[in-house]
């Protein structure tokens, strides 16, 4: 995105004091303050795009050059498609088992064009009408035209007797549904129970199981508080290392919870304006994702601060997309987007 680089640098804030998280005292690095500054500026860009404000949207050259996801996971493009179309769109079945099936099938591929091609060939996607051969043929056809998986999630396919990755994923999803996955998810008493059900299947590791748990919780079928449970993915662990050093190893979930609990303190300390998502504060999933994005951002802004992976470049450049449409969020959040 175009950016303006003529703004004066803000006055440096005092270095953050050591923080106690659990039984450890952690000494934040300069990336810790960058975490909050990035959150405020990236959210300001999102709100400016929603308002269809004229360019430039940011004075930050790194944000203006490279692609970063939104601060709030639910406002990202793929999550918006999931909530607005896959879970609640015209023709979407409200039957809870279908909500689970549709959500997981979409998230396996995580691509809008894959979903639309599939529906154009098999009709409305429901568990009751699922037919492995028809779905496989449709996905075979889509794969001949180009990628059918998003590069965002790398999900290995379990070996279930098929010769192609997507056919094995269809077998896995069918096995999950026949095992009573939907019933167990809908009967779960916590996000942690939903996660435990998903992570028990082959090919679904801790990171993916947590992401799928949050995706299911966007629907009307589940109603858990997103601050109940979190799992730190590899990118988040990298960002946590850059913010707190090696001393945070092993307590990443506690660190993420600290960020949620202390957000008002640190936005205030740094004199940052952060209105949240139409009044909604950062939740655990958002703080977790922010660590992933700050890990990338720090590769350019703080190249001297080491993470875990050793990556030193941000691969994806920003490419302007179409104007944003009015966002949709889980109904129970009660958000009224003011755009």
Alpha-carbon distance of 197 to 200, in angstroms, equals 6
Domain that holds residue 94: 89-178
- pLDDT of 79 over the 60 cut: yes
- Percent of the chain whose pLDDT exceeds 90: 83
**Secondary structure of 239-298 in HEC code, one letter for each residue:** HHHHHHCHHHCCCHHHHHHHHHHCHHHHHHHCCCCCCCECCECCCHHHHHHHHHHHHHHH
Q: What value, to the nearest 5°, has the Cα angle with vertex 220 and ends 215 and 226?
A: 50
What is the structure's pLDDT at 198? 97
Look at residue 112 and tell me if it is in a domain. Answer: yes
Q: Work out the average pLDDT over 252-256.
A: 98
Question: Does residue 84 belong to any structural domain of this protein?
Answer: no
- What pLDDT band is residue 156 in, cutting at 50, 70 and 90? confident
Within 10 angstroms of residue 24's Cβ, the number of other Cβ atoms is 16
User: What 8-state DSSP symbol labels residue 20?
Assistant: E
Residues 127 and 157 in one domain: yes
pLDDT value of position 338: 77
Model confidence at 15: pLDDT above 90: no
Q: Are residues 47 and 94 in the same domain?
A: no
Same domain as 114, residue 28 = no
Residue 134 falls within a domain, yes or no? yes
Mean pLDDT calculated for residue range 231-241: 97
Q: Is 224 inside a domain boundary?
A: no
Q: For the chain, what percent of residues have pLDDT higher than 70?
A: 95
Residues 254 and 289 in one domain: yes
Do 105 and 158 share a domain, yes or no? yes
Total domains in the fold of the chain: 2
Any domain includes 198: no
pLDDT at 330 (0 to 100): 97
Instruction: Mark whether 45 and 94 lie in a shared domain.
Output: no
Q: Which residue in 39, 26, 15 sits closest to 252, CA to CA? A: 26
Answer yes or no: is pLDDT of 163 > 70.
yes
Which of 136, 155, 178 represents a domain boundary (last residue)? 178
Q: Residue 25: what are its φ and ψ, rounded to 5°? A: -105, 115
Domain co-membership, 329 together with 276: yes
Whether residues 327 and 236 share a domain: the answer is yes
Write down the pTM of the prediction.
0.92
Q: Which of 144, 178, 212 is the last residue of a domain?
A: 178
Boundary residue ending a domain (139, 154, 178): 178
- Tell me: do 98 and 52 sit in the same domain: no
Residue 154 lies in a domain: yes
Q: Is residue 185 part of a domain?
A: no
Instruction: Give the model confidence (pLDDT) of 114-143 as tens digits.
Output: 999 999 999 999 999 999 999 999 999 999
pLDDT of residue 24 exceeding 80: yes
Q: What is the CA radius of gyration of the chain?
A: 21
With respect to residue 120, please indicate whether it lies within any of the assigned structural domains: yes
Given a cut of 90, whether residue 72 has pLDDT beyond it is: yes
Residues 155, 236, single domain; the answer is: no
Q: CA 41 to CA 273: how far, in whole Å?
A: 9
Strand runs labelled E in 24-77:
24-26
Same domain, 243 and 309: yes
Q: Are residues 96 and 58 in the same domain?
A: no
């Amino acid at each position: 995105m175009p950016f303006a680089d003529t703004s004066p640098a803000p006055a440096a804030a005092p270095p953050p004091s050591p923080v106690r998280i659990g039984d450890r005292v952690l000494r934040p690095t300069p990336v810790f303050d960058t975490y909050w500054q990035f959150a405020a500026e990236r959210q300001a860009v999102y709100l400016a795009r929603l308002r269809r404000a004229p360019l430039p949207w940011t004075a930050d050259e790194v944000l203006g050059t490279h692609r970063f996801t939104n601060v709030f996971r639910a406002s990202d493009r793929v999550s918006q498609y999931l909530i607005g179309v896959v879970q609640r769109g015209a023709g979407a079945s409200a039957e809870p088992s279908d909500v689970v099936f549709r959500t997981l099938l979409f998230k396996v591929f995580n691509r809008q064009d894959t979903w639309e091609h599939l529906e154009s060939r098999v009709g409305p996607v429901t568990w009751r009408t699922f037919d492995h051969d028809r779905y496989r043929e449709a996905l075979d056809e889509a794969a001949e035209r180009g990628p059918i998986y998003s590069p965002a999630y790398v999900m290995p396919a379990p070996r279930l007797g098929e010769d192609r990755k997507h056919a094995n994923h269809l077998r896995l999803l069918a096995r999950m549904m026949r095992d009573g996955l939907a019933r167990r998810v809908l009967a779960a008493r916590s996000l942690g129970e939903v996660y435990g059900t998903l992570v028990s299947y082959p090919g679904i590791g801790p990171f993916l199981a947590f992401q799928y748990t949050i995706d299911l919780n966007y629907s009307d079928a589940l109603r858990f508080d997103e601050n109940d449970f979190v799992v730190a993915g590899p990118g988040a662990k990298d960002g946590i290392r850059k913010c707190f050093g090696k001393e945070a190893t092993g307590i990443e979930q506690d660190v993420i919870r600290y960020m949620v609990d202390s957000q008002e303190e640190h936005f205030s300390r740094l004199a940052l304006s952060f209105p949240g998502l139409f009044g909604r504060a950062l939740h655990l999933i958002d703080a977790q994702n922010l660590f992933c994005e700050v890990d990338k951002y720090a590769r350019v802004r703080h190249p001297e601060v080491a993470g875990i992976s050793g990556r030193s470049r941000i691969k994806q450049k920003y490419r302007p997309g179409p104007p944003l449409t009015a966002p949709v969020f889980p109904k129970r959040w009660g958000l009224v987007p003011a755009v």
